Each structure stands twice: as C-alpha cells, then as structure tokens.
C-alpha cells in the first residue's frame, strides 16, 4: 500500500495537484492558471486541451517538487469545476468545440423554451435542479446544434460528452474509461437523481443522443489506471468540487454544512438519504457518501463570490492584490450605506434570475473607495446568508455552525462579518484545501488507505472559530438594506 494520495483539483481558473499523506498533511502542491475566453458578452469558454495539459503539468511538477516516489502513491483522486461541458471526438481525442464554462449564459433562450414547454416542474422534481443556463444539458444541445455533423456522430457514439471529470479520466486512462460520478451527473439537468439514470424525457427535450453519455459510477471506486512515470496508478475517487469539499470537511451527517468561498460561493447541507425538494430556490443534488454510497444535499450557488474581489482589483483597480481588500474594508466602520450586488452574470440561488445585473446603490458625495471595497466584501456574506436562510426554511434544521474553506476564507474580516450576519459560529479548518482533501479521501477509502469516515473525522482539525458579535437590531437593518438592493438588480437585462 502506498503512503500518499495525489489529488487533482481542476478548478475554474487553474489546475492544481496536491499530495497528501495518511495523516492528511499536505506534502506538496503545484498550480497552473489557464486561459479564459469571452467571445461575447455573457459567454465563457476554455480550451479543453489546455485544461488537460495544465493538469498533467502540475501533476508531474508536484511529484518532481516533493521528490515523492510514484511507487508510494496509492491512488489518484479527481475533483473538478462542475457543469462545464466538453464534447470530443472519440477517435482523435480532440474536442469538437471549446469547453462551455458553468458561468456561461449563452443558453438562456434554450432554458426559456424548456420552461415555455412546461418542463420547469419536471426538471425540479426529476433532476433536483431549477431550469437554468448554469447546468450542462443545454450546453450539450448548443454544441450539437452548431457543430456540423456532431449530432449524427454523437448518435453513433463517435462524439462523447463529459464534464471535466469525465474528460480528465478519459484522457488519463488513454480513452479506456468514459465515466462520470453521481455528483457530476446530478449537475447536468438530464440525470434522474431518484432512479440514478440518464433521463429519457430530458434527453428527448434537448435532442441529446444517449450514446454520447458516460457511464455513471460511485464517487469512490477504481475507474481505471493512469501511467505516471512508468507506473500504473489507480484513479479511485471523483466528485464535483463542492461535493468533494463537503466530504473533505467531514460533513458526513444530516444537517452538517459547509461554504466554499471561491470564484463563486457554494453552500451545501448534507441531508443524508432524504431528498428535500426546496421551496425556497435551492437545488437538490447528490453528494459523495462513504464507500461510494449515494447521499443527498441541498445546495445554494452564488455565481460571484470571490470574483467580486477580482473585479474590484482588475477592472475597478481599487486594490493591487486581492488580499488588500481585507485591509481597506477595515479602514471604515461601515459601508456608509453603500450596497454592491455582484450580479455580473445573473443571480443564482435563491433568486435564479438570469437577467439580473450588478449594481451599486446608496452612493453619496461622501462615498470613498473603502466603502465600495467593504460593500464588495459584505456582498459575499449577504449572499451566503440568503442561502443559509433558505436551507433552514426548507429543512427545519437550524445550523449550529458553518464550516468554511476556499481562497476567500483566509479573509478574517469577511469570516467575522459572515459569523455576525448569520448569528452563528464559523469554523475554518487547518487544511483549507477541502476540495482536494475530499477527492483524496474518496480515493483513499476506495483503495484502503483509510478504513472509514470515522477515521477521516479524527483527522479534521479546526484552525479558527469566529463567534458572532453583532446585535440583532443592526443585523436586521443591514439585511433590510441588502434585500432592497437586490430588488434593484433583478430582471435588468433586456430579454
């Protein structure tokens, strides 16, 4: 049995590789950014070959950097940006079109047609999702409709579809394994999460040939092997990034929740074997269970979380580095009544408005850049509050605390404000790479590095616990202002 697990964390803006030991310490990490393409307003694309090459590069880099012997690597686990859609030629292994990224809004009209055809409620009850351009199904249709001959070749099984996990596993196994896992399948809007099968009615509605779809597997099993420096290593774990983070945070029991602060924010509550149908704008999704068992979760997605700080940095040029936001936000006692709603690509849960757009309201002659920077920081916490509020209403389960991870969770100002606005403790772990840690955990369980989830729980360690420190009156006043600002952003773009 090898000593280490190699986790491949394929994210929205970069590919990373992290080596963990049996005590879940990070032995080494490597990261490489890749190109984002914006062909038109609201469109986001990536080059699948660059995704793959960047992932292979960091995989080799972290091994070289740490000096870990490949014979000591027990397994590879994969976690990935979800919903991003890739179609490729089975014979050549080349993509037939760029990857359409989860953030892309180009298929909004296809979604509108599905709703007009009366499929909205069917989508909710069967796939657990809401009709939205966010998910993979409409992206598949868009590519098949526009690439000449693609639909016919897909029907013959000559063009394959996959989310990023499928694409990486297919490439890493030399085309031997065309698979996906339950968590990624549950994000496509064409998968029946009750019966755990591709849904024929949705495939028909979107005119997607079933022959192009991957086999759906559990999150913790050996899918195939990849050749790494002369040795065949099992690929034994796979989960979409947010479900992987829930697993990495050891949220194994019903009611346990985590929030990942990345490009977007993704808040998941484990609901165990029970599926809750949300009445408050959340989605029901499959999450990773122990030894590959299927468990369910409620999820709320914030499209623009940490990305609002990048916007403040790159487009507005208010700061030179993302970490500066914490410093400037603390320079003023409040936002001076300013609210920033970062609905740059519409609003996700619980509003689901594809036509919402960003706005800054409450500006006066006395407004300074520090106020706007602080409003950007606070917008991340407000959006997360809306998700927690919806989850508690749907399940009747009050959150005792919120586990956090992701890049922006290092921001002490943001984490304290999050605790204040939730009136709940926020727990930040020692290992904040929860997404990669979840993938490693799933792979390690599959090959026997760890014997069960109880062993993983004992390894989880809290770094900082943020306790709420805001009176109820002030909190309620801030939230009233936030929801008023949200109202100004809704249904803004021309249909």
CB neighbourhood size of 276 (10 A): 18
CB 369 within 8 A of CB 328: yes
- Range 144-164 average pLDDT: 94
pLDDT for the residue 1 = 60
Structure token pair of residue 332: 């003023």
Helices (H), 249-345: 307-314, 324-329
- Range 155-162 average pLDDT: 94
pLDDT for the residue 289 = 77
- Vertex 403, ends 401 and 404: CA angle to 5°? 135
CB 299 within 8 A of CB 441: no
- Range 6-27 average pLDDT: 94
CB 177 within 8 A of CB 145: no
Asked if the model's pLDDT at residue 161 lies above 90, the reply is: yes
Q: Which DSSP category does 353 fall into?
A: B
C-alpha to C-alpha distances, 340 to 27, 54, 299, 421, nearest whole angstrom: 39, 34, 23, 16
Asked if the model's pLDDT at residue 384 lies above 70, the reply is: yes
- Range 194-209 average pLDDT: 95
pLDDT for the residue 291 = 66
Asked if the model's pLDDT at residue 152 lies above 80, the reply is: yes
397-413 per-position pLDDT tens digit: 888 899 999 888 999 99
Structure token pair of residue 123: 């989508």
CB 438 within 8 A of CB 11: no
Asked if the model's pLDDT at residue 290 lies above 70, the reply is: no
- Range 139-150 average pLDDT: 95
pLDDT for the residue 23 = 93
Question: Please, what is the average pLDDT of the chain?
Answer: 93
82-137 per-position pLDDT tens digit: 999 999 999 999 999 999 999 898 999 999 999 999 999 999 999 999 898 989 99
CB 84 within 8 A of CB 15: no
Band (263; pLDDT cuts 50, 70, 90): confident
pLDDT for the residue 222 = 95
Band (206; pLDDT cuts 50, 70, 90): very high
pLDDT for the residue 66 = 94
pLDDT for the residue 292 = 63
CB neighbourhood size of 333 (10 A): 7
- Range 227-252 average pLDDT: 94
Q: Which residues pair with 100 in a beta bridge?
A: 45, 85
**What CA–CA distance (Å, rounded) separates 30 from 8?**
10
Out of 234-243, 350-359, 383-392, least confident range: 350-359
pLDDT for the residue 398 = 87
**What CA–CA distance (Å, rounded) separates 296 from 278?**
13
**What CA–CA distance (Å, rounded) separates 89 from 157?**
9
Q: How far apart are the first and last CA of the chain?
A: 57
Structure token pair of residue 438: 């979840």
CB 11 within 8 A of CB 82: no
Query: Whole-model pTM?
Result: 0.88
- Vertex 309, ends 308 and 312: CA angle to 5°? 90
Band (303; pLDDT cuts 50, 70, 90): confident
Portion of the chain with pLDDT greater than 70, in percent: 99
Q: Which DSSP category does 345 fall into?
A: T
Of 302, 237, 300, 305, nearest to 269 by C-alpha is 300
The DSSP result for 118-187, as a single string, is T-HHHHHHHHSS-S-TTSHHHHHHHHHHHSTTHHHHHHTT-EEEE-HHHHHHHHHTTT---EEEHHHHTT
Of 224, 249, 253, nearest to 446 by C-alpha is 224
């Amino acid at each position: 049995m090898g000593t280490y697990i190699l986790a491949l964390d394929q994210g929205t803006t970069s590919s990373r590789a992290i080596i963990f030991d049996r005590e879940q310490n990070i032995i080494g990490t490597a990261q490489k950014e890749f190109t984002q393409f914006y062909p038109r307003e609201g469109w986001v694309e990536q080059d699948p070959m660059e995704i793959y090459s960047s992932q292979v590069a960091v995989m080799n880099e972290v091994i070289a950097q740490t000096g870990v012997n490949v014979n000591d690597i027990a397994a590879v686990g994969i976690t990935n940006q979800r919903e991003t859609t890739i179609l490729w030629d089975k014979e050549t292994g080349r993509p037939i079109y760029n990857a359409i990224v989860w953030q892309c809004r180009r298929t909004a009209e296809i979604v509108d047609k599905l709703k007009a055809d009366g499929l909205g409620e069917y989508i909710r009850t069967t796939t657990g999702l809401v009709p939205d351009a966010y998910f993979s199904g409409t992206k598949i249709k868009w590519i098949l409709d526009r690439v000449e001959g693609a639909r016919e070749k897909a029907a013959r099984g000559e063009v394959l579809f996959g989310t990023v996990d499928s694409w990486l596993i297919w490439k890493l196994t030399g085309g031997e394994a065309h698979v996906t896992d339950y968590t990624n399948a549950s994000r496509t809007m064409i998968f029946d999460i009750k019966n755990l099968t591709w849904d024929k009615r949705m495939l028909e509605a979107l005119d997607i040939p079933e022959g192009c779809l991957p086999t759906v597997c559990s999150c913790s099993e050996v899918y195939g092997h990849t050749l790494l420096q002369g040795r065949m290593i099992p690929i034994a774990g796979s989960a979409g990034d947010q479900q992987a983070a829930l697993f990495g945070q050891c949220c194994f029991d019903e009611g346990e929740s985590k929030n990942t602060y990345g490009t977007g924010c993704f808040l998941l509550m484990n609901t165990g074997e029970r599926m809750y149908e949300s009445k408050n704008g959340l989605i029901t999704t499959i999450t990773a269970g122990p030894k590959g068992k299927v468990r369910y979760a409620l999820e709320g997605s914030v499209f623009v979380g940490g990305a609002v700080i990048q916007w403040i940095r790159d487009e507005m040029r208010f700061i030179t580095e993302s970490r500066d936001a914490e410093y400037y936000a603390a320079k003023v006692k409040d936002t001076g009544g300013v609210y920033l709603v970062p609905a740059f690509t519409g609003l996700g849960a619980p509003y689901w408005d594809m036509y919402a757009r960003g706005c800054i309201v409450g500006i006066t002659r006395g407004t300074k850049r520090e106020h706007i920077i602080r409003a950007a920081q606070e917008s991340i916490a407000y959006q997360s509050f809306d998700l927690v509020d919806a989850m508690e209403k749907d399940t009747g389960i009050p959150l005792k605390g919120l586990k956090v991870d992701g890049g922006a969770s290092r921001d002490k100002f943001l984490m304290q404000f999050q605790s204040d606005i939730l009136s709940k403790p926020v727990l930040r772990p020692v290992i904040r790479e929860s997404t990669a840690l979840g993938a490693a955990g799933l792979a390690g369980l599959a090959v026997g590095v760890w014997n069960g989830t109880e062993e993983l729980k004992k390894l989880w360690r809290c770094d900082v616990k943020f306790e709420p420190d805001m009176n109820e009156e002030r909190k309620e006043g801030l939230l009233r202002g936030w929801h008023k600002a949200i109202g100004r952003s809704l249904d803004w773009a021309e249909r």
